[in-house]
Protein backbone atom coordinates (compact mmCIF):
# COMPACT_ATOMS: atom_id res chain seq x y z
CA UNK A 1 0.00 0.00 0.00
CA UNK A 2 1.51 3.31 -1.02
CA UNK A 3 1.15 6.25 1.28
CA UNK A 4 0.78 9.71 -0.13
CA UNK A 5 1.80 12.78 1.85
CA UNK A 6 -1.64 14.40 1.61
CA UNK A 7 -3.29 11.45 3.40
CA UNK A 8 -1.15 11.93 6.47
CA UNK A 9 -2.03 13.99 9.47
CA UNK A 10 0.48 16.52 10.74
CA UNK A 11 2.93 14.64 12.91
CA UNK A 12 2.41 11.23 11.27
CA UNK A 13 5.81 10.16 10.08
CA UNK A 14 7.73 6.97 9.57
CA UNK A 15 10.84 8.38 11.22
CA UNK A 16 12.70 6.78 14.07
CA UNK A 17 11.79 7.89 17.56
CA UNK A 18 14.12 9.07 20.29
CA UNK A 19 14.39 7.56 23.80
CA UNK A 20 11.19 9.29 24.96
CA UNK A 21 9.25 8.05 21.92
CA UNK A 22 9.01 11.41 20.14
CA UNK A 23 10.25 12.67 16.81
CA UNK A 24 11.15 16.29 16.19
CA UNK A 25 8.30 16.85 13.68
CA UNK A 26 5.77 15.44 16.20
CA UNK A 27 6.84 17.90 18.86
CA UNK A 28 6.68 20.73 16.33
CA UNK A 29 3.19 19.71 15.17
CA UNK A 30 1.85 19.42 18.71
CA UNK A 31 3.37 22.81 19.53
CA UNK A 32 1.76 24.38 16.47
CA UNK A 33 -1.57 22.80 17.41
CA UNK A 34 -1.27 24.09 20.97
CA UNK A 35 -0.46 27.60 19.77
CA UNK A 36 -3.37 27.59 17.30
CA UNK A 37 -5.75 26.31 19.98
CA UNK A 38 -4.58 28.97 22.44
CA UNK A 39 -4.87 31.69 19.77
CA UNK A 40 -8.43 30.62 18.92
CA UNK A 41 -9.35 30.54 22.62
CA UNK A 42 -7.97 34.04 23.22
CA UNK A 43 -9.72 35.28 20.08
CA UNK A 44 -13.02 33.82 21.33
CA UNK A 45 -12.70 35.69 24.62
CA UNK A 46 -11.85 38.88 22.73
CA UNK A 47 -14.87 38.48 20.40
CA UNK A 48 -17.17 37.90 23.37
CA UNK A 49 -15.93 40.96 25.27
CA UNK A 50 -15.28 43.57 22.57
CA UNK A 51 -17.53 46.33 21.37
CA UNK A 52 -15.78 46.52 17.99
CA UNK A 53 -17.94 43.75 16.52
CA UNK A 54 -21.59 44.23 15.61
CA UNK A 55 -23.43 42.69 18.64
CA UNK A 56 -25.78 40.37 16.66
CA UNK A 57 -22.70 38.98 14.85
CA UNK A 58 -20.93 37.88 18.03
CA UNK A 59 -22.69 34.46 18.27
CA UNK A 60 -21.86 33.75 14.64
CA UNK A 61 -18.23 34.73 15.21
CA UNK A 62 -18.04 32.49 18.26
CA UNK A 63 -19.57 29.59 16.30
CA UNK A 64 -16.99 30.02 13.52
CA UNK A 65 -14.15 30.11 16.05
CA UNK A 66 -15.56 27.01 17.80
CA UNK A 67 -15.66 25.09 14.52
CA UNK A 68 -12.09 26.18 13.77
CA UNK A 69 -11.07 25.03 17.26
CA UNK A 70 -12.64 21.61 16.63
CA UNK A 71 -10.79 21.38 13.33
CA UNK A 72 -7.47 22.16 14.99
CA UNK A 73 -8.05 19.47 17.61
CA UNK A 74 -9.15 16.88 15.06
CA UNK A 75 -6.17 17.43 12.76
CA UNK A 76 -3.31 18.31 15.10
CA UNK A 77 -4.14 16.21 18.18
CA UNK A 78 -6.43 13.37 17.06
CA UNK A 79 -4.76 13.02 13.63
CA UNK A 80 -8.06 12.55 11.77
CA UNK A 81 -7.34 12.50 8.03
CA UNK A 82 -8.95 11.24 4.84
CA UNK A 83 -6.54 8.32 4.49
CA UNK A 84 -7.83 4.77 4.12
CA UNK A 85 -6.25 3.76 7.43
CA UNK A 86 -8.39 6.33 9.28
CA UNK A 87 -11.78 4.99 8.17
CA UNK A 88 -12.62 3.67 11.65
CA UNK A 89 -11.61 6.97 13.24
CA UNK A 90 -13.82 8.94 10.87
CA UNK A 91 -16.76 6.57 11.43
CA UNK A 92 -16.32 6.81 15.21
CA UNK A 93 -16.23 10.60 14.93
CA UNK A 94 -19.38 10.64 12.78
CA UNK A 95 -21.18 8.34 15.23
CA UNK A 96 -20.14 10.55 18.16
CA UNK A 97 -21.38 13.65 16.35
CA UNK A 98 -24.69 11.88 15.62
CA UNK A 99 -25.13 11.01 19.31
CA UNK A 100 -24.33 14.58 20.38
CA UNK A 101 -26.83 15.89 17.81
CA UNK A 102 -29.52 13.51 19.14
CA UNK A 103 -28.90 14.57 22.75
CA UNK A 104 -28.96 18.30 21.93
CA UNK A 105 -32.01 18.06 19.63
CA UNK A 106 -33.87 15.85 22.12
CA UNK A 107 -33.10 18.23 24.98
CA UNK A 108 -34.33 21.22 23.00
CA UNK A 109 -37.47 19.34 21.98
CA UNK A 110 -38.20 18.26 25.58
CA UNK A 111 -37.60 21.76 26.94
CA UNK A 112 -39.89 23.29 24.30
CA UNK A 113 -42.61 20.75 25.07
CA UNK A 114 -42.32 21.30 28.81
CA UNK A 115 -42.59 25.04 28.35
CA UNK A 116 -45.85 24.62 26.44
CA UNK A 117 -47.28 22.02 28.82
CA UNK A 118 -46.38 23.89 32.00
CA UNK A 119 -48.23 27.08 31.06
CA UNK A 120 -51.68 27.65 32.50
CA UNK A 121 -54.57 27.26 30.15
CA UNK A 122 -56.38 30.52 29.26
CA UNK A 123 -59.44 29.43 31.29
CA UNK A 124 -57.36 28.88 34.43
CA UNK A 125 -55.53 32.13 33.86
CA UNK A 126 -58.86 34.04 33.62
CA UNK A 127 -60.13 32.31 36.77
CA UNK A 128 -56.92 33.19 38.57
CA UNK A 129 -57.17 36.84 37.43
CA UNK A 130 -60.80 37.09 38.62
CA UNK A 131 -59.86 36.10 42.16
pLDDT of residue 86: 78
Give the count of beta carbons closer than 10 Å to the beta carbon of residue 76: 21
68 with 100, same domain? Answer: no
60 with 99, same domain? Answer: no
52 with 105, same domain? Answer: no
pLDDT of residue 78: 85
Burial class (CB in 10 A: 0-12, 13-18, 19+), 54: exposed
16 with 55, same domain? Answer: yes
| Percent of the chain whose predicted confidence (pLDDT) is above 90 | 43
Residue-wise pLDDT for 61-74, tens only, equals: 999 999 999 999 98
Q: State the Cα–Cα distance between residues 131 and 128, nearest whole angstrom.
A: 5
pLDDT of residue 1: 47
- Better-scored residue on pLDDT, 60 or 118: 60
Alpha helices per DSSP H over the chain: 24-49, 58-72, 87-118, 122-130
63 with 127, same domain? Answer: no
**Residues 6+ away with beta carbon under 8 Å from 58:** 47, 48
Mean per-residue pLDDT, 14-27: 66
CB < 8 Å & 24+ apart, contacts of 10-19: 10/75, 10/76, 10/79, 11/76, 11/79, 12/79, 12/81
Q: Which domain holds residue 4?
A: 1-82
**Count of domains observed in the chain:** 2
pLDDT of residue 85: 76
4 with 31, same domain? Answer: yes
Residue-wise pLDDT for 64-118, tens only, equals: 999 999 999 988 988 887 777 778 888 888 899 999 999 999 999 988 887 667 7
Mean per-residue pLDDT, 23-43: 90
User: Model's pTM, two decimal places?
Assistant: 0.61
72 with 94, same domain? Answer: no
106 with 127, same domain? Answer: yes
Amino acid sequence: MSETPYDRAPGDSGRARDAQGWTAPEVLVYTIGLLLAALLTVTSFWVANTSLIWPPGVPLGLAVLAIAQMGVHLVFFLHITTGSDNTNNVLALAYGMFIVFLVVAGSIWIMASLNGNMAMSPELMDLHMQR
